[in-house]
Amino acid sequence: MGIFKIKGGLPLKGEIKPQGAKNESLQVLCSVLLTSDKLRIKNIPEIGDVKCLMQILKDLGVVINKNDIGDYTFQAKNINIEYLNTKKFREYGKSIRGSIMIAGPLLARFGKVCIPIPGGDRIGRRRLDPHLTGLKSLGSHICYHHEYKYFNLHTNNKILTGCYILMEEASVTGTANIIMAATLAKGKTTIYNAACEPYIQQLCKLLKKMGAKITGIGSNLIHITGVKELGGSCTHTILPDMVEIGSWIGLAAITCSEIRIKNVSWKNLGIIPKTFQKMGIKLEKEKDDIYIPSQESYQIKKLLNNAILTISDSPWPGLTPDLLSILTVVATQAKGSVLIHQKMFESRLFFVDKLIEMGAQIILCDPHRATVIGLNHQSHLRGAILNSPDIRAGISLLIAALSAKGTSLIKNIEQIDRGYENIDQRLRILGANILRME
């Protein structure tokens, strides 16, 4: 496993272009299975999870041609559905959670699919119920095989039938799976309490280009009228990754750095900029860029009744849970205190033990809440030997190490590589002292 060696405490400066959105990429890549025509997708990030999914698609029989960096053409004309019964697929499928999203397209087009229990970040319970319940409502039969720990889904006569689906939770990947399946289902499907993140909006826009009939895009009530087949011969460009943009903002603040983030697609960032501004971080909108000036200090704003600020995650247009780990690290050097409330996952805040070892003042109230007392750069974090437990905690610990005095080692950096493209090279361009060791 690889290791990052970081000498922290250095201010950074420069421009950075955010990578394509990881979560959108995984959804859009699965959508290529809905048609036998060619689809061109641009701004695909070269990251671990995406590479893994592309390998699954290739092994299924999808022809993939690289046009340029992050620019690929896909054609799912001759699909080997039996590949799903192989040990190789079960291993690949278990390695990333995004693999579950091939279920909807393959079930809709071929009437059957086998899916192992997917892997991904170990951040708590992540139920498959939104996926399975939705696909079952559309007419899928579901069997679970205990020996190999995989689900077998099939339909009668290769036909799914549209229906009304009330989702128990606004699952992003669950919504994507059901939408893709419903595009080829017979009749009309209505999804209520659907996720409406920009990733879902982008997926719907692509599907409409392919011939799908979808209304309600951007809301939590989506209507889909199934069609006999979808076409291709169109091009889709992935949005910039909002979570990576938030990571760069947090990095700039805690390291007192001056950074410009280029072409961020402001209209798709939601409340992310305002959330960092609540932490006292100055950022400016310059055309479609975010400019973060160097700050010696940033003060957390209190609520109107003078109570401690609480930052929590919630479904879009609320704050994405993927940024709470980064905001926790940023708060360690702020002036003031903040309560971080991670509502969705019960294990995501456990990494704060490492921040406490580095000198942060954090009280872990319970698995979902942590109170951070900012040090206002009066007492710096210390370098430490760290281990990356998941993508978001990994990048958060990397940001902490870059701000700390002394040298840090971060192990298990494959977790960071799963979600961040060439992160060490891009940091060195900004002036960071970071070395990748194998």
What's the rounded Cα separation, in Å, for the pair 314 and 15?
A: 30
Q: What is the DSSP letter of 383?
A: -
Give 147's contacts (C-beta < 8 A, 6+ positions apart): none
Residue 37 annotated among the catalytic residues of the structure = no
Helix or strand or coil: residue 312? strand
What's the rounded Cα separation, in Å, for the pair 118 and 39?
A: 26
Whether 227 and 212 have beta carbons less than 8 Å apart is answered as: yes
Helix 129-137 × helix 172-182 angle, to 10°: 20
57: which 2 tokens?
């698609």
Buried b (16+ CB within 10 A) or exposed e, 270-282: bebbebbebbbbe
What's the rounded Cα separation, in Å, for the pair 296 and 79?
A: 57
3-state SS of 342-355 is: CCCCCCHHHHHHHH
CA-angle at 38, arms to 37 and 40, nearest 5°: 150
Residue entry with tokens 């940033």: 298
What's the rounded Cα separation, in Å, for the pair 393 and 326?
A: 8
Residue entry with tokens 């559905």: 81
What's the rounded Cα separation, in Å, for the pair 205 and 219?
A: 13
Alpha helices of 332-385 — where are they, by DSSP H?
352-357
In this structure, are strands 112-116 and 150-154 parallel, antiparallel, or unpaired? antiparallel
What is the CB neighbour count within 10 angstroms for residue 153? 22
Q: Which of 49, 121, 322, 417 is catalytic?
A: 121
Task: Report, as residue numbers or ranges, the catalytic residues.
Answer: 121
